[in-house]
Structure 1
Amino acid sequence: MLSNTPVCLCFFFFFFLFVFLQMVLMEESRDKPTLIIDRDPEGLSNILESSHILEASHVRELCKELPPRTVGHTWQLAYSTSRHGASLKSLYRKLSATDSPVLIVIKDALDEVFGAFLSHALRPSETFYGTGETFLFMLHPRFKCFRWTGENSFFIKGDLDCFAVGGGSGHFGLWVDENLYLGRSSPCYTFNNCCLSETDDFRVMELEVWTFG
């Protein structure tokens, strides 16, 4: 019986230590705010009413990836091909007065949804511009985000006949023509992304550009 005494003492010691730690953790948890999981972004219903592409699940996924400076700002539909026509020049004009970052969402002929978050508004430019906040994403049929790798700084490029996001070795992560109708997506060094669309070349059925007011 005496030989079992140390075993019993060890058992009771660890048991009381376990109970003590549980009480401490419970006490600490009372002082911490409860986390709200999957909370809908403010104005979600207005976003869904305005968009011909986005669904609630898309918006929630994107909100998890957007930089902190967009939090608390209202999503505003600055341009859509169904409302404003299909013209890159018109898109530039619509964004000329904004200093907000922008979200470009594209739905192609195969009903796939993808796009880019731009740290700065889209505009004609002689060289690439923007910051590492810029990223590419896929929304449907699956969600995936492609962030800056640090390999280069080819974030955003606006020409009169096209715009591009991400680049390297002659390949663009996302490229769309002046009519906002023909596009191309390729793996690029900037984001180490896969092709955002099912095929390298795609046709734009709807394109929306959102700002954060």
Structure 2
Amino acid sequence: MGVAYSVGEVDHLFTFFVQWSPDIYTKGNKKHCQPRYLLGEKQQNHYLVVENKVAVMSKLLNNSVNPTAIITVKDSKCRLSLCGSEDSETEEPEYQEESDDVLVLSDQSLLLDDQHLQELAAHMPARTQGYPWQLVYSTAVHGSSLKTLYRNMAGLDSPVLLVIKDMHKKVFGAFSSDSFRVSKYCYGTGETFLFSFNPDLQAYRWSGENSYFVSGNLESLQIGGGGSGFALWLDSDLYRGASFSCPTFHNAPLSTQEDFIVQDLEVWTVGN
């Protein structure tokens, strides 16, 4: 449970923490020299999330601060818009270091098991937490066609998870901050990352060297670039692919071989 305060009250609250427990919030204690809070801003909504001891905090502040809402830390993460990727195009987001959560799928996946889902959950941006993942495209259901993939994603404005299994049974893919579409220019944000299972999850985040996140046309879909090849490339039939190391993610090739054949492919999107 947490208490949400306006931004203008943050300094007052921090001063109170220092006076109340100087042994915890003074410079002499490096481990706890800052109070545990999350400060977020979305449009005109400003809030501070303070973990635990809600009742004690309210009493000790002597009503000098009026909380505007009571929310949990998890709820505060879910308040971030699923479609807010344009607001932070050059910023690398914060990710949770550890998680006991598992991605919840609305349909049965042919490629991801429970272990995959648990490992992937720890790398997902906070704005996707608490929402179910819906299958938007599958070669097993919709056939092998990049045009069909684009058509199924028309009108979507949410993150997507691309999962591939090659003919050598290796599973890999990418999380994209934006849904796939035909575009003349690259799109996406620093939330975008690559992954492969070897058999444990290996994740490759944005390096910051360039912004060649995702680009697509009717002939191919490309993720990452700036070097001798794309981090992930798929042809118009979603049958042949390639994966090379690239500056965008400083990744190792994701597939068993740099050129691979797709056995199955799925794309999942977050819905609320």
Both structures adopt the same fold (TM-score exceeding 0.5): yes
Q: How has the CA–CA distance of structure 1 residues 205 and 41 changed in structure 2, closer, same or farther, with 3 Å as cutoff?
A: same
What is the aligned residue count? 178
User: 1 CA distance for matches of 2:162 and 2:251?
Assistant: 16
Moved more, 90-99 or 140-149: 140-149
Cα deviation for residue 72 of structure 1 reads 0.8
Which of 227, 231, 237 pairs up with 1:169? 227
Are 1:63 and 2:121 an aligned pair? yes
Tell which structure's C-alpha radius of gyration is larger: 1
8 Å contact kept, 1:146–1:193:
yes
Which of 199, 211, 214 pairs up with 1:153? 211
Cα deviation for residue 166 of structure 1 reads 0.3
Cα deviation for residue 170 of structure 1 reads 3.6
Q: Larger RCO: Structure 1 or Structure 2 (Cα < 8 Å, ≥ 6 residues apart)? A: 1
Aligned counterpart, 2:155: 97
Taking the TM superposition and a 5 Å limit, the aligned residue runs for 1:1-213 are: 39-41=100-102, 43=104, 46-47=106-107, 50-213=108-271
Cα deviation for residue 140 of structure 1 reads 4.1
User: 1 CA distance for matches of 2:191 and 2:156?
Assistant: 17
**1:10-48, Cα deviation, whole Å (9 max, x unpaired):** xxxxxxxxxxxxxxxxxxxx97xxxxx85343635x55x
**Structure 2 unaligned blocks of 5 or more:** 1-51, 54-97
User: 2 CA distance for matches of 1:61 and 1:105?
Assistant: 14
Q: How has the CA–CA distance of structure 1 residues 109 and 198 changed in structure 2, closer, same or farther, with 3 Å as cutoff?
A: same
Write the letter of the residue equivalent to 1:105: V
| Matched position secondary structure for 1:103 | strand
Q: How has the CA–CA distance of structure 1 residues 169 and 41 changed in structure 2, closer, same or farther, with 3 Å as cutoff?
A: closer
| Matched position secondary structure for 1:191 | coil
**1:84-117, Cα deviation, whole Å (9 max, x unpaired):** 0100000001001211100000000000000000
| Matched position secondary structure for 1:203 | strand
Q: How has the CA–CA distance of structure 1 residues 201 and 74 changed in structure 2, closer, same or farther, with 3 Å as cutoff?
A: same
8 Å contact kept, 1:114–1:140:
no
RMSD of aligned Cα (Å): 1.9
* Percent of aligned pairs sharing the same letter: 49
**1:113-135, Cα deviation, whole Å (9 max, x unpaired):** 00000010000011111100000
8 Å contact kept, 2:104–2:131:
no
Moved more, 190-199 or 136-145: 136-145
**Structure 1 unaligned blocks of 5 or more:** 1-29, 32-36
TM-score, scaled relative to structure 1: 0.79
Q: How has the CA–CA distance of structure 1 residues 99 and 117 changed in structure 2, closer, same or farther, with 3 Å as cutoff?
A: same
TM-score, scaled relative to structure 2: 0.62
Aligned counterpart, 1:8: none
Q: Which has the higher helix share?
A: 1
Write the letter of the residue equivalent to 2:191: E
Cα deviation for residue 141 of structure 1 reads 2.4
